[in-house]
A and B are shown apart, each in its own frame.
Chain A
Amino acid sequence: MIRYLICAISLICCISGCYTSDNTPLPVLGNPEIVGGDTIPHTIGPFSLLNQDSILITNASFSDHIYLSDFFFMHCPTICPKVKKQMLRVYDRYKDNPEIILVSHTLDPKRDTPDNLKTYAENLEINQDKWIFLTGKKEHIYDIKNDYFIAATEDPDAPGGIAHSGKIILVDKKGQVRSFAEGTDPKEVNQMMEDIDKLLKEYAQ
């Protein structure tokens, strides 16, 4: 009898465990800083970059949006097209949702000028208010990528000249990193879209 009871209780625990884990908010990723006894979560540091229309974009530009960020360059012959394909999937799903935007940073600002990024965006056939392309000073971009936990380095042996990670990063309205996905893997991007829905719900409450 007791054995059955234990079985039943553990079963209930398992099931309720599943439910509660589904309701937990997305974690805030990155190492928090402790300043004067206060824990300050990791946020995207201050940036000022130009979009495809040469308009200055800073952190404040995104304060009313959650956004998806990736790093790429136009002459990248390896992973970038696949990441763009997945970003396009996310774009298609959320294009009518005013709360979310997509932000692609170039790692090759010398060649990917605002003009060229504009042409690229036109060829992607997307709404350029919804999906923006950022460029700027190379040192600044390579500095800011660290806040998104993106690894990238110039490497003459790498195809296209830059070796970099194809991760897609989800950032909330406070500039905190909440989720990430390997941009070449459709399954991880499916999971990412579930995380986006969860984050949107967090703001809907």
Chain B
Amino acid sequence: MHNKRILKYSFLFTVILFTYACNEAKFMQGKRTYDVMCGDCHMEDGSGVAKVYPELNAEKIATLIDDLPCIIRYGVNKPASLIKMPPNPSLLPVDITNIINYLCNDMHDLDREFTMVDIISSLNDCPKDSIR
């Protein structure tokens, strides 16, 4: 009788544990880096603040996908824009890979996954003036 109860509870506990495990972001490291490096302005849910800090919606990510490594690494420096996105020299290719995979697969459901080799080759082709 007593054993049965223990069994019942441990089953319940396992189910709860699995539910939580499944809810975790697939690219957890990317989420952590995003929250610290990008979340202050773009917000942790990517909702941004009106036009001041742009929302990172699925459409925008999909459109900019090829430029993302350079944007994250070198920032956005349009002369007309009031608040410029700063460059992030401290982010290594591995960090940028994690962030982009997090944006594409956890924050949004774009189902695109990049390897570090992809990202490094994109970074090598960044425009030199870094004005986008």
B49 near A88 with CB under 8 A, answer yes
B82 near A116 with CB under 8 A, answer yes
Interface residues of B in 2-60 (CB under 8 A from A): 40-41, 43, 47, 49-53
A149 and B18 CA atoms in complex are apart in Å by: 47
- Picked from B41, B43, B47, B51, the residue with its CB within 8 Å of the CB of A123 is B51
Give B residues with C-beta under 8 Å from A.
Answer: 40-41, 43, 47, 49-53, 82-83, 86
Measured CB to CB, the nearest residue on chain A to B84 is A75
A124 near B49 with CB under 8 A, answer yes
Measured CB to CB, the nearest residue on chain A to B44 is A82
Contact with B along A106-137 (1 / 0, CB 8 A): 00000000001001100111100000000000
Chain A contacts for B51, CB-based, 8 A:
123-125
Q: Can you offer 28 A-B residue contacts whose CB atoms are under 8 A?
A: A74-B82, A74-B83, A75-B83, A77-B40, A77-B41, A77-B86, A78-B40, A79-B40, A81-B43, A81-B49, A82-B40, A84-B49, A84-B52, A85-B43, A85-B47, A85-B49, A88-B49, A88-B50, A116-B82, A119-B82, A120-B52, A120-B82, A123-B51, A123-B52, A124-B49, A124-B50, A124-B51, A125-B50
Chain B contacts for A84, CB-based, 8 A:
49, 52
> Which bucket holds chain A's interface residue count?
10 to 19
Supposing A74-B82, A77-B86, A123-B82 touch, asked if A82 and B50 sit within 8 A by C-beta, the answer is no
Give A residues with C-beta under 8 Å from B.
Answer: 74-75, 77-79, 81-82, 84-85, 88, 116, 119-120, 123-126
Chain B contacts for A123, CB-based, 8 A:
50-52, 82
Chain A contacts for B52, CB-based, 8 A:
81, 84, 120, 123-124
A82 near B82 with CB under 8 A, answer no
A88 and B82 CA atoms in complex are apart in Å by: 19
